[in-house]
Homo-oligomer: A and B are copies of this chain.
Amino acid sequence: MTEVPFSAIAAAIRGTLENQGFTKLIGAEVVAVEPRVVVMAVDRRPEVLQQAGLFHGGVIAYLIDNSATAAAATVIDRASRTVITAEYKINLVAPSTGDRLTCRAEVVKPGRLLTVVEAKVTCRTDSEEKLVAVALATIANLDVKTP
């Protein structure tokens, strides 16, 4: 395992997220990539809402899927392994009435095969961060096929 500085790993993860077609469509922002933690956010605009003017649940799920998988990617040896999202569970706990949605995903337990990640999503409402969703995700680590 070559020793790669974390800043290079973080830049690679950030680049992958930012270049996804769906990330560009939603207009999501990668706020932070740290060891075990990734934070992403989306600002309010009509295109990311549902019928009642709340952020759509699918936008919340998108943030959780991406942030959780990226958080798991911070704890693997990227030379030999890669990550895929195996499953997640989301609880929507309050309406997203605010102007900015932020998801913070943090590795609870890294593993050889599977990494478990918790995520919390808050919505900035009247300059307070209100909890709107919690999630628990399982990310699988795959061996990178080398020639």
What residues make up the interface of A, taking CB atoms closer than 8 Å to B? 16, 19-22, 24-26, 45-51, 56-59, 61-66, 69, 84-94, 108-109, 111, 113-114, 116, 118, 131, 134-136, 138, 140, 142
> What 6 additional pairs, Cβ within 8 angstroms, besides A22-B59, A108-B131, A113-B113?
A21-B46, A25-B26, A58-B58, A61-B90, A87-B89, A89-B90
Q: Which residues of B contact A66 (CB under 8 A)?
A: 57-58
Bound Cα distance A142, B140 (Å)? 13
Tell me whether A58 and B62 are in contact (CB under 8 A). yes
Contact present for A116 and B134 (CB under 8 Å): yes
Q: Can you list 29 A-B pairs with a CB-CB distance of less than 8 A?
A: A20-B56, A21-B47, A22-B47, A22-B48, A22-B50, A25-B25, A25-B47, A25-B48, A56-B65, A57-B61, A57-B62, A57-B65, A57-B66, A57-B85, A58-B59, A58-B62, A61-B90, A84-B92, A86-B91, A86-B114, A87-B87, A87-B91, A87-B138, A91-B109, A91-B136, A93-B116, A94-B109, A109-B131, A138-B138
